[in-house]
């Protein structure tokens, strides 16, 4: 029997490669907040699976520790849900950008919301395609000028509004410039049983000179201080329409529903990954393909 000697989980447990992000990038705050949340929840790196797509955000798993799967651009969700079905004991976190999640991966995003897989999706929302050098993304502010939008970007996608209407059971926004808030929000998302979307306002210091640390800091306010009830769907839909002078952060919407994994009869006996495979039963299946 394998003997696993558990070490206490510390920030050092999650120290990965040296990040190649620009100095001052908002991604550093998200990386730190995620690690802080995992340490506070005492999640060991071997209990974690981070699945990312492509982009600056998608590099995060390289700079942390745990099981990782670096998928294609916009395609992090399918391997993440597959892994969660195979082993529901894993803490599964999808990590990607606004382009990755809301644009290239838009179809997966739309449909994963209502299925309520017990995974967390962290979107590094810098309102720009950073890795490919600053094109407008689905969340760029209207009028945002970039090489692809010389006349200014069109009105943005209200991704959090879409998430609530498409059946997400946990929708939150936080800010990369507020470590404690971001770590707390990530913890709440991971602890939530079901699909948790966490949109993180992430300044891009190189390409987005509009939505800067200062710009966000002057606008964000915490919902919990204002008595918002996240179980009130209509109130949540009001909240997601606030943008501009005042930008709400915190848990916007939350409901309890059975998860996708709860509905799979084969998982009642425990994780597939730990069930004993009877070769006699699968032999006829293999023979079909010979
Ligand atoms: C299928 C596919 N389409 C396009 C690209 C090019 N591409 C790579 S990253 C990216 C956008 C990244 O933006 P975002 O997801 O917001 O991440 P960020 O770099 O801003 O963190 C694009 C268009 C790609 N690699 N694969
Ligand atoms: Mg981006």
* Token code pair at residue 88: 């529901």
The 8-class DSSP code of residue 217 comes to H
Ligand with the closest atom to the CA of 30: 1
| Ligand 1 close to Cβ of residue 22 (< 6 A) | no
CATH architecture of 19-288: 3-Layer(aba) Sandwich (3.40)
Greater pLDDT, 276 or 51: 51
Strand partners, 177: none
pLDDT at 226 over 80: no
Residue whose structure tokens are 């992000």: 21
pLDDT at 1 over 70: no
* CA 118 / ligand 2 centre spacing (Å): 24
* CA 129 / ligand 1 centre spacing (Å): 6
pLDDT at 137 over 60: yes
Task: Specify the residue with its C-alpha closest to ligand 1, atom 22.
Answer: 132
pLDDT at 144 over 70: yes
Helix runs in 41-140, H state only = 77-86, 98, 106-115
Q: Domain limits of the chain?
A: 19-288
Mean pLDDT confidence for 222-236? 91
The pLDDT value recorded for residue 2 is 59
Mean pLDDT confidence for 44-55? 98
Task: Specify the residue with its C-alpha closest to ligand 1, atom 25.
Answer: 73
* CA 128 / ligand 1 centre spacing (Å): 10
The pLDDT value recorded for residue 224 is 81
CA 175 to chain CA mean position, Å? 13
| Ligand 1 close to Cβ of residue 240 (< 6 A) | no
What is the share, in percent, of the chain residues with pLDDT greater than 90? 90
pLDDT at 140 over 80: yes
* Token code pair at residue 39: 């340490």
pLDDT tens digits along 260-272 = 999 999 889 888 8
pLDDT at 24 over 60: yes
Quick one: which atom of ligand 1 is closest to the CA of 137? 16
pLDDT at 277 over 90: no
Q: Mean pLDDT over all residues of the chain?
A: 96
Mean pLDDT confidence for 31-52? 98
The pLDDT value recorded for residue 3 is 65
pLDDT tens digits along 156-181 = 999 999 999 999 999 999 999 999 99
The sign of the CA dihedral 153, 158, 159, 160 is: positive
* CA 101 / ligand 1 centre spacing (Å): 10
pLDDT at 275 over 70: yes
Mean pLDDT confidence for 1-11? 78
Residue whose structure tokens are 């299925």: 115
* CA 134 / ligand 2 centre spacing (Å): 9
Q: How many CA atoms lie within 13 A of 218 on its CB side?
A: 8
């Amino acid at each position: 029997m394998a003997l696993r000697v558990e070490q206490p989980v510390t920030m050092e447990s999650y120290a990965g490669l040296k990040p190649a992000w620009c100095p001052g990038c908002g991604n550093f705050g998200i990386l730190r907040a995620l690690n802080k949340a995992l340490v506070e929840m005492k999640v060991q790196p071997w209990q974690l699976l981070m699945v990312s797509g492509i982009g600056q955000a998608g590099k995060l798993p390289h700079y942390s520790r745990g099981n990782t799967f670096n998928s294609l651009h916009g395609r992090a969700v399918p391997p993440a849900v597959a892994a969660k079905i195979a082993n529901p004991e894993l803490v599964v976190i999808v990590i990607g950008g606004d382009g990755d999640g809301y644009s290239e991966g838009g179809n997966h995003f739309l449909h994963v919301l209502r299925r309520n897989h017990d995974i967390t999706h962290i979107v590094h929302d810098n309102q720009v395609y950073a890795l490919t050098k600053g094109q407008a993304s689905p969340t760029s502010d209207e009028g945002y000028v970039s090489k692809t939008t010389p006349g200014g970007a069109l009105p943005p996608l209200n991704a959090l509004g879409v998430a609530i209407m498409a059946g997400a059971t946990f929708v939150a926004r936080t800010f990369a410039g507020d470590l404690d808030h971001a770590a707390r929000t990530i913890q709440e998302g991971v602890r939530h049983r079901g699909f948790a979307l966490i949109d993180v306002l992430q300044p891009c210091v190189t390409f987005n000179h509009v939505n800067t640390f200062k710009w966000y800091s002057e606008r964000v306010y915490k919902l919990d201080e204002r008595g918002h009830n996240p179980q009130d769907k209509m109130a949540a839909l009001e909240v997601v329409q606030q943008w501009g002078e005042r930008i709400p952060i915190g848990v916007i919407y939350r409901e309890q529903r059975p998860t996708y994994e709860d509905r799979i009869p084969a998982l009642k006996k425990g994780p597939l990954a730990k069930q004993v495979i009877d070769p006699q039963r699968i032999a006829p299946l293999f023979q079909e393909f010979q």
